[in-house]
Structure 1
Amino acid sequence: MRIQIAFIIAMCYLHTGRKALQINEESIGEWIRCKHDIPYTNDIISNVPYHNKNNSISGYPSLIFSGDHDMVVPYLGTQAWIRSLNYSVIDDWRPWMISDQIAGYTSTYANKMTFATIKASGHTPEYKPDESCIMFQRWINGQPL
Structure 2
Amino acid sequence: MQRQTTQRRPVLVYDGDCAFCTSSVRFMERRLRPRCEASPWQFTDLARLGIARQRAEHEVLWVTPTGSVHGGAQAVAKLLMSTPGGWPVVGALLTLPPVRWFAHAAYRIIARNRQRLPGGTAACALPSSRSGRKPS
TM-score class, shorter-chain normalisation, is under 0.3
Which structure shows the bigger proportion of residues in helix conformation?
A: 2
Which structure shows the bigger proportion of residues in strand conformation?
A: 1
- TM-score, normalised relative to structure 2: 0.27
Task: Give the greater-gyration-radius structure (CA).
Answer: 1
